[in-house]
Structure 1
Amino acid sequence: MKLSVALFFAGFFAALGAVFFLLSFGTDYWLLASETCGSDVTVASRPGGVPEERGDFLVNQDVQDTTTFYHEGFFWRCSFGGKLEEDTMWKFWFTNQPPSKVCMHAYLFPFPVSEQTHNATTYDSAIIYRGFWSIFMLVGLVAVVMGGFIIICAAPFASHRLYKAGGGLFIAAGLFLLTVVVMFVIWVQVLDVVDEYVHQRASLCRDFRLSIRYGLSFMFAPVGVFFSLLAGLLFLLIGRSVQLQYS
């Protein structure tokens, strides 16, 4: 009876951990940013401050739209223009974004560093950092999916090894996702890439202001870490109990 109750809670926590992990992975709202500059820009630029190149398709915006909003995740980095309002969070909801939004792949795009405005060494280092961040995210996702399948195969109390393996995979997934969260905080708060971006944009825009905040995808990640680690520990204890009961 006790094992059944423990298995229920472990499975429930594992499902919550997997759901929050998938939400964090699949939604592109790890970082929310808005930047405002004056009307005199010395070089043509795409939304998000990336310099214009030959062949780029630009959408004309109202000259009064002096604020650029963008959000970024594992898959995409999107930007769109608009007016700065008191409640800017509403700008980032799925149902409230303009058709002029421009998105680009963000797998290895080291926001906010741009190859056109930084030397090759800095840009390559940013790509390597973002590459490890993406790898840890993918490895954690594979671990949580494999852990779920192994736990399903282990029911009902078929093998203590399967419970231990599934628990170990959930713990590994939680640790990888925790690493992803820490790396992202270091990227935004500790490293000087944001300061370099502000300095570069301030030389092009009058009265440049940048506002950065963490989005829902980032908030989902610690919740997924907590439930994944908790479920992993419970599965390890269940595997230990099954081993002692049938030995």
Structure 2
Amino acid sequence: MKLNIALFFAGLFAALAAVFIILSFGTDYWLLASETCKPDGKVTVERGDVLVNQNGDDATFYHEGFFWRCSFSGRLEEDSIWKFWFTNQPHTKECMHAYLFPFPVSEQTHNATVYDSAIIYRGFWSIFMLLGVACVVLGGFIIICAAPFASHCLYKAGGGLFLIAGFFLLAVTVMYVIWLEVLNMVGLYVEHQQASLCQDFHININYGISFMFAPVSVFFCLLSGLLFFLIGRSIRLQYH
């Protein structure tokens, strides 16, 4: 009876972990950013620079995830965060692949060493994300094969994969925070924009809902993995 209850909650937590990791992985809202720039007409515009004060719009909005980085123009308002909701975004927004795009560093704005380092960092972030998703999917299949109490080894293997997925997702979350808060990449981007486009340049960066899903999935991955591992151990002690 106790094993059935533990298995129910472990399965529930595993399902929630899978849902949240798929939402975090599949939605492109890890980063929300808006920038404003008012060129004074005296600066030199270089290749790769973006002018945002066009067609009456005074800001450029970005949202980025694992797959895509999208941008669109609009007016900066107090509740600009609502512009990122699916129903509020214009159909004219431009999107580009973001697998290895280390926002906000670009090849045009930084030297090769900085850009290559950013590519490597973003590459590890992407790999850890993919490994976390793969471990959750594989662990789920193994747990399905293990029911009902067929093999304690399968429960332990599935639980171990969920634990591994939790640690990978934790690394993904921490790396993203380090990228924005510690490595000063945003500061380098702002300095370049101020030097090449305008001195009155401002950028506002927020963590999106995809980022918020990541720590939730970490919690459920670790909890379900631990429960499955304990279930496997209990089955071994009880039936062998």
TM class, shorter-length: over 0.9
Which residue of the partner structure matches residue 224 of structure 1?
A: 217
- CA deviation after TM superposition for structure 1 residue 39, in Å: 4.0
- CA deviation after TM superposition for structure 1 residue 117, in Å: 1.2
1:11-26 correspondence runs (5 A): 11-26=11-26
Which residue of the partner structure matches residue 55 of structure 1?
A: none
- CA deviation after TM superposition for structure 1 residue 205, in Å: 2.0
Which residue of the partner structure matches residue 111 of structure 2?
A: 119
Which residue of the partner structure matches residue 49 of structure 2?
A: 51
- Does residue 86 of the first structure (1) align with residue 74 of the second (2)? no
Once residues 82 and 167 of structure 1 are traced to their aligned partners in structure 2, the CA distance between those partners, rounded to angstroms, is 47
Which residue of the partner structure matches residue 109 of structure 1?
A: 101
Once residues 44 and 168 of structure 1 are traced to their aligned partners in structure 2, the CA distance between those partners, rounded to angstroms, is 53
Once residues 90 and 179 of structure 2 are traced to their aligned partners in structure 1, the CA distance between those partners, rounded to angstroms, is 29
Which residue of the partner structure matches residue 75 of structure 1?
A: 67
Q: SS in structure 2 opposite 1:34?
A: strand
Contact 2:39-2:200 at 8 Å conserved across structures: no
Once residues 40 and 72 of structure 2 are traced to their aligned partners in structure 1, the CA distance between those partners, rounded to angstroms, is 19
Which residue of the partner structure matches residue 183 of structure 1?
A: 175
Q: Describe the superposition over 1:98-120 as per-residue Cα deviations: whole angstroms up to 9, x where unpaired.
A: 12201000000011001011110
Using the size of structure 1 for normalisation, the TM-score is 0.92
Amino acid at match of 2:227: L
Contact 1:164-1:239 at 8 Å conserved across structures: yes
Amino acid at match of 2:122: R
How large is the RMSD of aligned CA atoms in angstroms? 1.8
Amino acid at match of 1:23: L
Once residues 143 and 6 of structure 1 are traced to their aligned partners in structure 2, the CA distance between those partners, rounded to angstroms, is 21
- CA deviation after TM superposition for structure 1 residue 61, in Å: 4.7
Contact 2:159-2:228 at 8 Å conserved across structures: yes
Q: SS in structure 2 opposite 1:68?
A: strand
Which residue of the partner structure matches residue 167 of structure 1?
A: 159
- Does residue 237 of the first structure (1) align with residue 230 of the second (2)? yes
Q: Describe the superposition over 1:176-234 as per-residue Cα deviations: whole angstroms up to 9, x where unpaired.
A: 00000000000000002110000001121241111001000000000000000000000
Using the size of structure 2 for normalisation, the TM-score is 0.95
- CA deviation after TM superposition for structure 1 residue 88, in Å: 1.1
Contact 1:38-1:208 at 8 Å conserved across structures: yes
Q: SS in structure 2 opposite 1:240?
A: helix
Runs of 4+, deviation exceeding 6 Å: none
Amino acid at match of 1:210: I
Contact 2:167-2:218 at 8 Å conserved across structures: yes
1:32-47 correspondence runs (5 A): 32-40=32-40, 42=43
Change (3 A) 1:45 1:25: farther
- CA deviation after TM superposition for structure 1 residue 89, in Å: 1.3
- CA deviation after TM superposition for structure 1 residue 51, in Å: 2.9
Give the number of equivalent residue pairs. Answer: 238
Q: SS in structure 1 opposite 2:148?
A: coil
Amino acid at match of 2:139: G
Q: Which deviates further from its counterpart, 33-42 or 15-24?
A: 33-42
